[in-house]
Amino acid sequence: MAAKLSILVSMVTLTNTSYQQIGRAFFPIPINFNTSSPSNDTGSFTFSTSFVFSIVPEFPDLGGHGITFIITPSMELKGDIASQYLGLFNITSNGLSSNHVFAVKLDTIKSPEFNDIDGNHVGIDVNSLKSYASASASYYSDRERDNKTLKLISGKVIQLWIDYDQKEMLLNVTAAPLRTPKPWLPLLSARLDLSTTLLEPMYVGFSASTGSMSSDQYILGWSFNITTKGFKGKELLGIGSFGEVYKGILPSSNEEVAVKRVFHSSKQGMKEFIAEIASMGSLRHRNLVQLLGYCRRQGELLLVYDFIANGSLDKFLFINEKRSLDWSQRIQILKGVASALVYLHEEWDQVVIHRDIKASNVLLDAQLNGRLRDFGLAKFYDHGSNPQTTRHRRPFEPGRPSEEIILVDWVLEFWKTGMILQMSDPRLEGEYVVEEMELILKLGLLWANPAPETRPSMRKVVQYLDGM
């Protein structure tokens, strides 16, 4: 799954009372739609945009030519002219497939040369101002179950939604007055394949123009979202109790990310989603997995994180038969996680108790540094307060074999008999520093002591580890 890019923009003035004027506004970073990316074997992407606009004409029924939402290979459209060409093309370039321009226009003057249906319409344009599909500006009233006319140059505030799904090759354009919920019935719905129109990369934004009459043409708010590929099984990194984690790519930068997709039916997943946002959003440490963003769309909860190349520690310790970790690498991972816990316990604005430290929640980056993740069960306390501390071990889960014993008890028995080194990982084949191994195992026993007051602080643990 390639991650979602989201853009939020506030008010922009495209044109004012000047004549024969072109005004444009673009998001300054080009976007990769991944229509031809080797990694996008399906060529599938979706985008949606919503913007709020107002057109205030020079005279009550006479003004400029209108506004277009555009996706174009360049912010500099060569040879473009104002008036009916809307700052997109000229008489020579209009209609050329080499333009690679997609637009949705809000046209306020009828231009017969482009077969315009009237002087108040919305059109879907591909490389040409002769619309692929168009309709007189209106919206469907869900309450009255009837179409209502929208006057584009009324000076009133109007919202427009554009939704495209490349897999379905379906484009929907929907309009409504501001504060009216998005109608379920779109104004325009067209089958359209944009895979050959959208190049890599493309710019998204707006163009507007005036002619012999002028208008103040405003974009009062704008959001744009793109998701490529969708969730594919081969991109699945792992499955947890409350969701799935996929590998993704940010379209704006081609940066690899991990996307956690919370299960629809999981109430606990919703709690974890909120907890992750509340905690990870402001935590910054080299040994924590960074939360990059989040969203809730169409009932789905998505969390976007740094992509950590080597996956989770448990795969190296328990699953990966071909590759293990040597002693120095294991010490490095321990030091990294301990450093992250010192930050959480002592150095951040509040005390953060992770409450779910385990090998599967430690990720290894390209240099095999440990990075702690998954704050869905975390608790927050003010410094100086007395957080509730675990005083007992979790009982056996129902259905677990009765002969299984608790690991801590097992290590403790070997320590009591002076044979604690027998608990070292056999995959190390004895390749470790004996004193360091003894220290690590004894620290583990101290960390798990039933009496909280005897447990060393994480800062003390770091001091022990740094002294090795």
- The pLDDT value recorded for residue 279 is 60
Q: Which amino acid is at 8?
A: L
- Specify the domain boundaries for CATH 2.60.120.200 within the chain: 2-228
Q: For domain 233-306, give the CATH number.
A: 3.30.200.20
Mean pLDDT across 194-214: 89
- Specify the domain boundaries for CATH 1.10.510.10 within the chain: 313-466
- Give the CA count within 13 Å in the CB-facing half-sphere of 130: 10
Mean pLDDT across 421-437: 90
Q: 203, 24 in Cβ contact below 8 A?
A: no
Q: Is the pLDDT of residue 373 over 60?
A: yes
Higher pLDDT, 163 or 296: 163
Q: Is the pLDDT of residue 398 over 50?
A: no
Burial of 431 (0-12, 13-18, 19+ CB in 10 A): exposed
Q: Is the pLDDT of residue 229 over 90?
A: no
- Specify the domain boundaries for CATH 3.30.200.20 within the chain: 233-306
Most confident of the ranges 118-127, 413-422, 424-433: 118-127
Measure Cα distances from 153 to 104, 271, 280, 420 in Å: 17, 46, 46, 82
Q: Under CATH, what is the fold of the domain 2-228?
A: Jelly Rolls (2.60.120)
- The pLDDT value recorded for residue 41 is 46
Average pLDDT, the chain: 83
Kindly report which listed range (12-26, 265-279, 306-320) carries the lowest average pLDDT score.
265-279
Question: 256-265: per-residue pLDDT in tens?
Answer: 888 887 765 5
Q: Is 260 annotated among the ligand-binding residues?
A: yes
Kindly report which listed range (77-81, 183-187, 197-201, 205-209) carries the lowest average pLDDT score.
77-81
- The pLDDT value recorded for residue 387 is 67
- The pLDDT value recorded for residue 331 is 95
* Rg (alpha carbons) of the chain, rounded to whole number: 30
* pTM score: 0.54
Band (pLDDT 50/70/90 cuts) for residue 234 is low
Q: Is the pLDDT of residue 4 over 60?
A: no
User: Which percentage of the chain shows pLDDT scores above 90?
Assistant: 40
Mean pLDDT across 44-65: 88
One of 1.20.1530.20, 1.10.510.10, 3.40.50.1220, 3.40.50.300 is the CATH number of 313-466, namely: 1.10.510.10
Residues labelled as active-site residues: 356
Question: 108-125: per-residue pLDDT in tens?
Answer: 999 999 999 999 999 999
HEC secondary structure over the chain: CEEEEEEEECCEEEECCCCCCEEEEECCCCECCCCCCCCCCCCCEEEEEEEEEEEEECECCECCCEEEEEEECCCCCCCCCCHHHCCCCCCCCCCCHHHCCEEEEEECCCCHHHCCCCCCEEEEEECCCCCCEEEECEEEECCCCEEEECCCCCCCCEEEEEEEECCCCEEEEEEEECCCCCCCCCCEEEECCCCCCCCCCEEEEEEEECCCCCEEEEEEEEEEEEEECCCCHHHEEEECCCEEEEEEECCCCCCEEEEEEECCCCHHHHHHHHHHHHHHCCCCCCCECCEEEEEEECCEEEEEEECCCCCEHHHHHHHCCCCCCCHHHHHHHHHHHHHHHHHHHHHCCCEEECCCCCHHHEEECCCCCEEECCCCCCEEECCCCCCCCCCCCCCCCCCCCCCCCCHHHHHHHHHHCCCHHHHCCHHHCCCCCHHHHHHHHHHHHHHCCCCHHHCCCHHHHHHHHHCC
- The pLDDT value recorded for residue 231 is 61
Q: 268, 289 in Cβ contact below 8 A?
A: no
Most confident of the ranges 156-160, 310-314, 351-355, 397-401: 156-160
Kindly report which listed range (256-260, 334-338, 392-396) carries the lowest average pLDDT score.
392-396
Q: Is the pLDDT of residue 395 over 50?
A: no
Band (pLDDT 50/70/90 cuts) for residue 2 is very low
- The pLDDT value recorded for residue 117 is 96
Band (pLDDT 50/70/90 cuts) for residue 372 is very high
User: Which percentage of the chain shows pLDDT scores above 70?
Assistant: 81
Q: Is the pLDDT of residue 276 over 70?
A: no
- The pLDDT value recorded for residue 43 is 53
Higher pLDDT, 23 or 394: 23
Q: Is the pLDDT of residue 269 over 70?
A: no
Torsion over CA: 406, 411, 412, 417 (sign): positive
Higher pLDDT, 248 or 121: 121
Band (pLDDT 50/70/90 cuts) for residue 159 is very high
Q: Is the pLDDT of residue 280 over 70?
A: no
What is the rounded CA–CA span in Å between residue 58 and residue 72? 29
